[in-house]
Structure 1
Amino acid sequence: MADSSKIVLNGQNNGDEIEIDSSVLEVIMGIAAEKVDGVAALHGDVRSGLNRVLGREDRGRGVTVKLDDDRNLIADVYVSVVAGGYVPKIAMNLQKSLKQQVLQMTDLTLKEINVHVVGLEFTEDEEDGSGTSKLFSDIDEKSSNESTRKS
């Protein structure tokens, strides 16, 4: 029996089997995800953090692939998006790109691609000199103006 981290492709004509390690799919999807407009970064788990500390490149970080009980492929992608982007559109483009790339390179179809947006990344233009974002700058200015009026 094959290892649970391997996906087995059965040959249609001659009965041969090809095994693809799930980490290969993670790398394929990681590279494809980095190229989607609006995706700022991929976020990995403890394993990818350890690889980064050890100086190893982890192209599959932020992507996990598993098989469900019916042997369908399910992918989870953890990303930060560029602030100001329309998150649903970025997520749909990400799903479309990953599905297309995996199909093109392995002839496998992903049943689900779950996109987890875990952060926003601001460009330097959207930050003030102190390094904090201007996301709440209007609220801060209004509250400081109101507090000076009350004093």
Structure 2
Amino acid sequence: MAPQEETKVPGRVDISPEVIQLISGLAATEVEGVAGLKGGVVGDLNQWLGRKNLRQGVKVELGDKIEIDVAIIVHYGEQVVEVGQLVQSQVKERVEEMTGLPIDRIVVRIAGLKFPQTEETQESTPVQRVR
């Protein structure tokens, strides 16, 4: 059996920062203890409405080095440093695995805590009883 010849394809494959943002956001939200991503007023409004935008709270800088900044919200009661470190390793692993690009730096900002809701705060409108 003859060895296969390598075929060279002219051109290159570019990966947009938005793709890296999506991979990073999904990887971060898969970590136990992460309640969501923090993305400013519009992102918070979307999250309140039940819409998920996995790019919110993730910044990607492409250049000589690839740097990713992820802002997360952690569930109250979790070890925030431990959750942050898990997010760093999960994001690095996923992005490198899916893109083949080496990630130089990942900064995780703990941007907030999510507190458990009580029954009072879960009800959006008071219940009226009809007799």
TM range (shorter): 0.7 to 0.9
Matched, 1:20 2:20: no
> TM-score w.r.t. structure 1 length?
0.64
Q: Are the equivalent residues in 2 in contact too, given 1:41–1:79 (CA < 8 A)?
A: yes
Matches within 5 A, 1:65-144: 65-68=60-63, 71-124=64-117, 127=118, 131=121
Q: Are the equivalent residues in 1 in contact too, given 2:17–2:62 (CA < 8 A)?
A: no
Q: Which amino acid aligns with 2:23?
A: I
| Number of residue-to-residue matches in the alignment | 112
Matched, 1:39 2:44: no
RMSD, matched Cα: 2.7
Could you tell me which runs of 5 or more consecutive residues in structure 2 were left unpaired when the two chains were aligned: 1-7, 122-131
Instruction: State the alpha-carbon separation in 2 of the partners of residues 120 and 78 from structure 1.
Output: 11
Q: Are the equivalent residues in 2 in contact too, given 1:51–1:57 (CA < 8 A)?
A: no
- 1:18 is paired with a residue whose SS is coil
Instruction: State the alpha-carbon separation in 2 of the partners of residues 27 and 109 from structure 1.
Output: 17
**Structure showing greater relative contact order (alpha-carbon pairs closer than 8 Å, 6 or more residues apart):** 2
- 2:15 is paired with a residue whose SS is strand
- 2:53 is paired with a residue whose SS is coil
Q: Which amino acid aligns with 2:26?
A: I
Closer, same or farther in 2 for the Cα pair 1:97/1:24, shift >3 Å?
Answer: same
Task: Name whichever structure is richer in strand by fraction.
Answer: 1
